[in-house]
Amino acid sequence: MSNFIRTIVVIAYLVCASGSTYASLKLPETIRVDPAALTSEPACDPKIPPAWRDAQVIDGVEIEADPSCSPDNPAWIAVAVKGTNNVSMDTLMQTHFSPDAIIKTDDLDGDGDPDRIVIKLEVMELNGKSPDFPGQVPTFDIAPGVQPGAWVFAPKTSGMSTENFESVRANPLIRLPSPVIRVEQGDIVQIVLENTHYLPHSIHLHGVDHPFHHELNGNDGVPQTSEMELMPGERRIYQFQARETGTMFYHCHVQTHTHLSMGLAGMIVVEENKPNNWLQTLNIGAGRVRHRSAAIKENFDREYDLHYHSMDKELGDIIKEYNDPRLTARDMNRRYQINNATEDYFTLNGLSFPYSLRESLIVVDLDEKIKLRLLNSGSESIAIHTHGHHATITHYDGVEHNPIAQIMRDVFDLAPAQRLDLKLETIDDGRHSYGAGDWLIHDHREKGITTNGMAEGGSMSSIVYTSYLGENGLPNTSHFGVNLDNFYTKEYWERKVPIWQNLDEAATFGAAAGRTINLDAATRNSLYYALGGLLAGLLLYLIFIVRNHIKQCAVAVISRIRSKKEGGKE
């Protein structure tokens, strides 16, 4: 018996020791993660044809060049400028737009551009749960392998929600952020919300001149004042004719504390009324405006829409956890505590570094004037820092600041929901600009440059001069010896890559190996099984030894019952 127990103890010790430390004079080896072991992806999305970067004319719509790595599909821009009702069928078919997504008609003031604009928006879910398989559908990565659960306003699309029949990736029109809407001052605009989502939503036009309309349930999107939540499967029209111009904001006002953070928020710009002013009604994915309004063309060389957003991982995880909308609603509405929440994802135009380099670079040349429109739809203030530049704040929340009092800064505070219009002048005078370069632009709250706590991620991007732009549309970092490859692997964001391992040949900051007895997995497993078997045997043996005792107990019980029964009979 005692021998038997000793054997067990020895085996148990071996098994445990294989996973624990032992004393040694030498410290463990350095491990350098082999790049070949990583799921790497190309820095530039190979699905996007380089020809999309060129300046071109489609259906008479002039589209500026966009040298960046993932420019918008030029057909999107042509459709957004002409409207789905005016553009050629050929062009429309190169997009996923529904043929009634943007309807432009009636030149009411006779100045050569349409003044009745109908924009149809749907509500789409990204990275949601499926009851059929363990993954998410349709997927959208804000960085390699990083897929927060999100909701977006998407232009009304046609056909599948995924890229194609075999893919689970969302079709390119269904993405973060909700699209930038551009309308002209004085246009009669109808935003038609078709609630394709499984929860109630609405639209609030923050900052846009819109009447509190009696027939249209207030027209303000707020369930606590005038308007019932728009239920799944229903449609509602929001109508306005803006008298004031400016960079504004639209978002869902149903359970705003969660719905806004989930992504139901976008930029809306009211442009000055000018003759022949055909606007790019939607800027998918924000960023570079490749068909600018007449007024911006007169005063600036380039224009960029920069939409900053933040998301809480725990909030987004709710839609990954439940398929039943009642449970999603329960956790979102009653269990999620925003007062105890923290932000985890920080995005610029829906993406985090390094994807932000693909399509949200601010590409400039010397001696240019660039219009930047900034929106913060996150739940905390942000502080955007422009390396190498001071820019001038021209507008706060869409309203022009007194030109004499306008100030230059290199850190721009944006409170939640706030908008700033900046004039960036690339004059190499030591104040406006320090000269050409690849200058970072980032949120200076340090967590703003992380993705779920992992740096360098977040909403970081660059102001890059064309002389520092590589042929693929990414900043040319290689001649500085800078290699961004690790950022394009999902393992980096899973915290599995020692980020400094390649700083020197010796891998001084590689990973330290663990200290274990070198047992291969198979041997360890068989040892575990042996131990398990022995324990089971021991248990049976014990039961066998005390069997008589058990029997006696049982008999005692039975006899007591019987005596009770007999007692009852008597």
Residue number, 324 or 400, with CB nearest to another protein: 324
CB of 496 to another protein, least distance (A): 27
* CA-derived radius of gyration, the chain: 31
> Residues binding another protein: what is the number (CB under 8 A)?
66
Q: Which residues have a Cβ under 8 Å from the Cβ of 378 and sit 6 or more positions away?
A: 261, 308, 309, 310, 343, 346, 416
- Per-residue contact track with another protein, 233 to 272, x per CB under 8 A? xxx-------------------------------------
Rule CB under 8 A: say whether 201 interacts with another protein.
Answer: no
Of the ranges 248-256, 323-331, 475-483, 525-533, which one interacts with another protein (CB under 8 A)? 323-331
What phi, psi does 464 have (nearest 5°)?
Answer: -120, 130
Q: How many CB atoms lie within 10 A of CB 478?
A: 11
Contact with another protein (CB under 8 A) among 53, 156, 175, 259:
156
Shortest Å, Cβ 325 to another protein: 6
Least CB distance to another protein at residue 6 (A): 34
Query: Could you say which residues in the range 27-86 bind another protein, by CB under 8 A?
Result: 85-86
Q: CA angle 390-394-395, nearest 5°?
A: 130
CB 430 within 8 A of CB 410: no
Rounded Cα–Cα distance for residues 341 and 350 (Å): 20
Question: Among 15, 174, 264, 370, which residue interacts with another protein (rule: CB under 8 A)?
Answer: 174
Q: Which two tokens stand for residue 252?
A: 């869902």
Please give the backbone phi and psi of residue 375, each rounded to the nearest 5 degrees, phi first: -130, 135
Asked if 181 is part of the footprint of another protein (rule: CB under 8 A), the reply reads no
Q: With the CA atoms of 173, 176, 182 and 183 taken in that order, what torsion angle do they form, in degrees rounded to the nearest 10?
A: 80
Give the closest residue to 266 by CA, choosing from 185, 160, 176. 176
The yes or no reply on residue 326 touching another protein (CB under 8 A) is: yes
Residue of 30, 105, 256, 392 interacting with another protein (CB under 8 A): 105
Select the residue interacting with another protein from 223, 232, 437, 470 (CB under 8 A): 232
Q: How far is the CB of 96 from another protein (least distance, A)?
A: 11
Q: Rule CB under 8 A: is residue 561 a binding residue for another protein?
A: yes
Residue 539 near another protein by CB under 8 A:
no
The answer to the question of residue 545 lying near another protein (CB under 8 A) is no
21: Cβ contacts below 8 Å, ≥ 6 apart: 515
Give SS3 for 70: coil
Residue 434 CB neighbours (<10 A): 14
CA distances from 556 to 547, 560, 562 (A): 14, 6, 10
> Among 23, 36, 89, 521, which residue sits at the site for another protein (rule: CB under 8 A)?
89
Piece of 194-202, 345-353, 405-413, 421-429 that binds another protein (CB under 8 A): 194-202
Contact 272, 245 (CB under 8 A): yes
Rule CB under 8 A: which residues touch another protein?
85-86, 88-90, 93, 98-100, 103, 105-106, 116, 118, 122, 124-126, 128-134, 137-138, 156, 158-162, 164-165, 170, 174, 190, 194-198, 231-235, 321-327, 330, 548, 551-552, 554-555, 557-559, 561-562
